[in-house]
Amino acid sequence: MSGPLKNFTHGEILRWRRVGGLLLAEVEYEAGQRIHRHVHPHARFVLVLRGSVTETRSGEETDTYGRRHALTEIAVRGSAL
């Protein structure tokens, strides 16, 4: 079974599994990590397991996924999505 694509995430994949047509992954990010403006090629579902994440779009905080967004900031080391 092939793993996630090389550019799947900006964090460290701790574990992953394919379930039906979905790829589920637990990903850990560095504290204070910022991810600049980007677009996801496919729909994403994000569940924050630890820590917190803030996304901005057009300079406003948002929790809207699937639109072009930027400056995701990871609050503490060990935050996992």
Host domain of residue 56: 12-74
- Is residue 20 domain-resident? yes
Contact 50, 79 (CB under 8 A): yes
- Is residue 3 domain-resident? no
- Is residue 35 domain-resident? yes
Quote the pLDDT of residue 15: 92
Q: Total structural domains in the chain? A: 1
- Is residue 27 domain-resident? yes
- Is residue 58 domain-resident? yes
- Is residue 2 domain-resident? no
Q: For 18-74, how does the pLDDT look when each residue is reduced to its tens digit (9 = 90+)? A: 999 888 899 898 888 888 888 777 777 888 888 777 777 777 766 544 445 555 666
- Is residue 81 domain-resident? no
- Listed in sequence order, the residues at least 6 apart from 70 whose beta carbon sits closer than 8 Å to its beta carbon are 35, 36, 37, 38, 56, 57
DSSP 21-45: TEEEEEEE--TT-EE-SB--SS---
Quote the pLDDT of residue 63: 56
